[in-house]
Structure formats: structure tokens, C-alpha cells
């Protein structure tokens, strides 16, 4: 994955959950899984997921109707789907519930209680009052309590960041600008101030944590980069000045191209607010030019999906990246070694190397020639354990919702 070189007749020797060696001769006296009919790659990484997403609804009222218990069960379901599509690691990009079910799911996967990718999890979606992360865009008559994720000053930001870290956050997630999916915010507008974001970065980095920023509009992107965030999520309105600033600071970009495109296909069918859909139509026009600027400035890019329907969308970002101008190798690297580097895990996974986790997938055909073969992963191994095997399709059944 680091160079793009393709090796034929390779034998990957595993011990426990790790790769021991790679050679051109078959080892003796060990069981062999024959993948010679396929192209073998390291397990994939989705660097922008929302584990608790309900794939059946895009209504702003879902959070009021759905219990945290049901959201957690959606998480169990979604994690199994990520694995089925070859994603052996995922970065959760914040969740709404105040008791952090994403941390419980992360720890349950680590303990082997449930099946799922390796999880790096952000805490709350840190927002200002009425911002993109304010989960209650409803009448003031309801008297709903202020969210634990809401911060309107630098001091309040420090408190919320410390709360996330206290309860186990691997990442801090900031809402630098308005967004598209909610019906109330303006994606052009910078929401959290540069001073607030700088405070979040100071507190998080001092604790050894990284910071990601949802940033659509140009002003918010630049403020977040100047504040020192580690990654910009979406970057949909990126301009020349912003791209240059990201290049100078070494800031990562997780562009999430396909989710905006997919939203135009699903329309209002899942209860999405018309105001939200109109914003999606507007922002889609800016997506292509912004991504081309990112490529022209050689920004560090990681693969991220940000779509509530994991089963339908998680692999489609490959096609969107290539259609947007990235090479097929670049798209594969975005979902493997690049994403692992962003997560600080490139010594553990993201490539098939001695000492790394035995996270291995296989596809039919050559993804360097046709990236769409990545839409149908045939074989999945995580940590030396086979999750999906074309030789035993009866064992690979994942229940799909209807």
C-alpha cells in the first residue's frame, strides 16, 4: 500500500492475530487459505463513521423518538456491516447520546463481546447553542435541557472537552461551521470561534488526544486550521487560501464525497427536512472544485463515508474519490495506510507487514484498473480470524433490514 507495487505468488504467514512474514515460498506444516484467484489488500478503514446511525430515518425528530438502547443496537448492527464490507477499523466522528454508547461498543469489540471493526471514537459533537451539533431544533415551548455538548465560550469548550476525555474519548469533534443535514444551521457560517477551537486543541493535545473539525464553509475551515485541528471533515467549500493553509499546516482532509451525492438520490424518502435537502443541492455544486483544489495542493487525504446507511454506502466513496480526480491507488491508500496514519495506528494496521494485525481482505479483479471491484469484498479477515469466506458462503450471512 505504501508504494503501489503488486506482488504475485505471495504467502502471508500468520501467528495469532499478527502477520509473521511474507515470502514467495509456501510455509510447511500449516493450514493454507487459498486466495490466489483474488487481489489481496489490507483491511479497510472508514475514518468518518457514525456508529449509532439509524439507516431508516433522516428525520430531525428521530433523536426524540428513539431510545439510547435502540441507538446502541443500531450500532451493533452497523458494526457487523462494516466488517462485511471489508472495513476492519472505523473512526466514530461523534454521537449524540450523553452517556457515550460508542465507547461501550468500542470496548465490547476489543473484549470480543461483539463483532466489529477496531474503533477509535470521538465523544460528543461539540457545538454552540443553535449550531450544527445542537440536537434540539424544536420549539422553545418544549423547554428541552441544554445539551452536555453545548459550549458558547472558550471556558465552556474546555469543560466539554474534559468531559469527553474523562469518559474515554479517543478524539475530540468540533462543529466549526453549520451543516447540511440539520434544518437550522447555515453551512457558510463559522460557528465555534477560532479561540474556542484553539482551546479545544490545547486541552486535547495536552491529554494526548487529536481533534477533528466538521467544517463546510471557507471561513470556518481556515479558522479550524489556524486553531491547530488535526483533520478537517468534509471541507466542501474549500478555496485556494484554505487549501494552501491546510498544506502549510499539514492538516488532514476527510472529504466524504459520496454521502452528499447519495443524499440527492434518497431525497426526502427517509423523512429528511426540505430545508436540509435544499442545502444539499446547493453544496453539491461546490464539492468537485474544492476536492480538485485539495488534490492540487497535495493534501493528506483519508477515506471517510459519513452516511447513515452503511450497507448501501460504505464502499461507494472509492468511486466518488476516483471520479473526483484521485488515482485508484490514491483512493486505496486513503482507505488503508493514509487512514491508519491519521489515526496514529500505521504501526498496527493499514498495510500487510510483519508485526501488523492480520487484517486482510480480498476482491475479485484488479482495483488499480477498476476501483469498483472494491464494492464487493469477497474475503474478510480481522486479527487472524476469518469473518467472511467465499469458500463457505453459508457462514457469511448478515441480516439486512427490510
Query: Tens of pLDDT along 230-264?
Result: 999 999 999 999 999 999 999 999 999 999 998 87
Is residue 252 a contact partner of residue 232, using CB atoms and an 8 Å limit?
A: yes
Is residue 129 included in any domain, yes or no?
yes
Structural domains counted in the chain: 1
Is residue 390 included in any domain, yes or no?
no
**Residue in the block written with cell 456508529:** 51
pLDDT digits (tens, 9 = 90+) for 171-210: 999 999 999 888 888 999 999 999 999 999 999 999 999 9
pLDDT at 128: 96
Is residue 210 included in any domain, yes or no?
yes
**Residue in the block written with cell 475551515:** 221
* CA separation for the pair 323, 106 (Å, rounded): 33
pLDDT digits (tens, 9 = 90+) for 64-90: 778 899 999 999 999 999 999 999 999
Q: Of 47 and 274, which is predicted with more confidence?
A: 47
* CA separation for the pair 219, 208 (Å, rounded): 27
Question: What share of the chain has pLDDT > 70, as a percent?
Answer: 97
Return the C-alpha cell found at 148: 452536555
Which residues have a Cβ under 8 Å from the Cβ of 240 and sit 6 or more positions away? 293
Residues in the chain, total: 402
Largest CA distance in the chain: 73
Is residue 176 a contact partner of residue 190, using CB atoms and an 8 Å limit?
A: yes
Is residue 24 included in any domain, yes or no?
no
How distant is the alpha carbon of residue 212 from its chain centre?
11
Band of residue 141 on the pLDDT scale cut at 50, 70, 90: confident
Is residue 388 included in any domain, yes or no?
no
Is residue 386 included in any domain, yes or no?
no
* CA separation for the pair 300, 211 (Å, rounded): 16
pLDDT at 349: 98
pLDDT at 112: 96
Cα–Cα nearest to 311, from 219, 391, 399: 399
How wide is the angle at C-alpha 291 spanned by C-alphas 288 and 292, nearest 5°? 85
208 half-sphere exposure, CB direction, 13 A CA radius: 3
Instruction: Give the E-state strand segments of 219-353 in sequence order.
Output: 231-234, 252-254
pLDDT at 66: 83
Query: Quick check: 366 pLDDT over 90?
Result: yes
Is residue 79 included in any domain, yes or no?
yes
Query: Which structural domain, as residue segments, surrounds residue 200?
Result: 43-351
Any idea what the CATH number is for the domain that residue 115 is in? 3.20.20.140
**Residue in the block written with cell 452536555:** 148
Is residue 29 included in any domain, yes or no?
no
Query: Quick check: 397 pLDDT over 70?
Result: no
Return the C-alpha cell found at 367: 482495483
CA dihedral (68, 74, 79, 80) positive or negative:
positive
Amino acid at each position: 500500500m505504501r508504494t503501489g507495487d503488486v506482488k504475485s505468488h505471495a504467502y502471508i504467514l500468520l501467528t495469532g492475530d499478527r502477520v509473521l512474514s511474507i515470502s514467495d515460498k509456501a510455509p510447511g506444516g500449516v493450514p493454507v487459505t487459498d486466495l490466489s484467484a483474488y487481489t489481496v489488500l489490507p483491511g479497510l478503514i472508514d475514518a468518518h463513521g457514525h456508529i449509532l446511525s439509524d439507516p431508516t430515518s433522516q428525520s430531525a425528530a428521530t433523536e426524540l423518538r428513539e431510545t439510547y438502547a435502540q441507538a446502541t443496537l443500531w450500532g451493533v448492527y452497523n458494526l457487523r456491516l462494516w466488517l462485511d464490507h471489508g472495513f476492519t477499523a472505523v473512526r466514530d466522528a461523534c454521537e449524540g447520546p450523553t452517556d457515550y454508547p460508542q465507547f461501550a461498543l468500542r470496548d465490547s469489540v476489543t473484549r470480543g463481546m461483539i463483532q466489529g471493526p477496531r474503533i477509535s471514537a470521538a465523544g460528543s459533537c461539540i457545538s454552540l447553542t443553535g449550531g450544527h451539533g445542537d440536537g434540539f431544533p424544536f420549539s422553545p415551548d418544549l423547554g428541552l435541557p441544554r445539551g452536555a455538548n453545548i459550549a458558547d465560550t472558550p471556558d465552556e469548550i474546555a469543560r466539554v472537552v474534559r468531559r469527553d476525555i474523562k469518559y474515554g474519548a479517543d478524539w475530540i469533534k468540533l462543529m466549526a461551521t453549520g451543516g447540511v443535514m440539520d434544518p437550522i444551521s447555515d453551512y457558510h457560517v463559522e460557528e465555534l470561534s477560532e479561540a474556542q477551537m484553539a482551546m479545544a486543541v490545547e486541552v486535547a493535545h495536552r491529554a494526548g488526544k487529536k481533534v477533528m473539525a466538521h467544517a463546510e464553509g471557507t471561513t470556518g475551515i481556515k479558522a479550524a486550521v489556524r486553531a491547530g485541528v488535526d483533520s478537517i471533515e468534509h471541507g466542501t467549500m474549500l478555496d485556494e487560501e484554505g487549501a494552501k493553509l491546510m498544506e502549510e499546516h499539514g492538516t488532514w482532509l476527510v472529504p466524504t464525497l459520496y454521502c452528499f451525492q447519495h443524499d440527492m438520490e434518497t431525497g426526502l424518502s427517509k423523512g429528511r427536512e426540505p430545508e436540509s435537502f435544499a442545502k444539499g443541492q446547493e453544496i453539491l455544486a461546490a464539492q468537485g472544485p474544492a476536492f480538485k483544489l485539495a488534490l492540487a495542493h497535495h493534501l493528506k487525504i483519508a477515506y471517510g463515508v459519513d452516511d447513515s446507511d452503511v450497507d448501501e454506502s460504505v464502499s461507494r466513496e472509492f468511486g466518488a474519490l476516483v471520479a473526483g480526480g484521485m488515482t485508484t491507488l490514491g483512493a486505496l491508500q486513503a482507505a488503508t495506510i493514509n487512514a491508519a496514519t491519521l489515526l496514529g495506528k500505521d504501526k498496527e494496521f493499514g498495510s500487510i507487514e510483519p508485526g501488523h494485525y492480520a487484517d486482510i481482505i480480498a476482491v475479485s479483479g484488479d482495483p488499480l484498473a477498476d476501483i469498483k471491484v472494491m464494492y464487493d469484498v469477497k474475503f474478510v479477515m480481522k486479527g487472524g480470524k476469518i469473518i467472511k469466506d467465499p469458500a463457505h458462503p453459508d457462514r457469511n450471512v448478515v441480516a439486512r433490514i427490510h
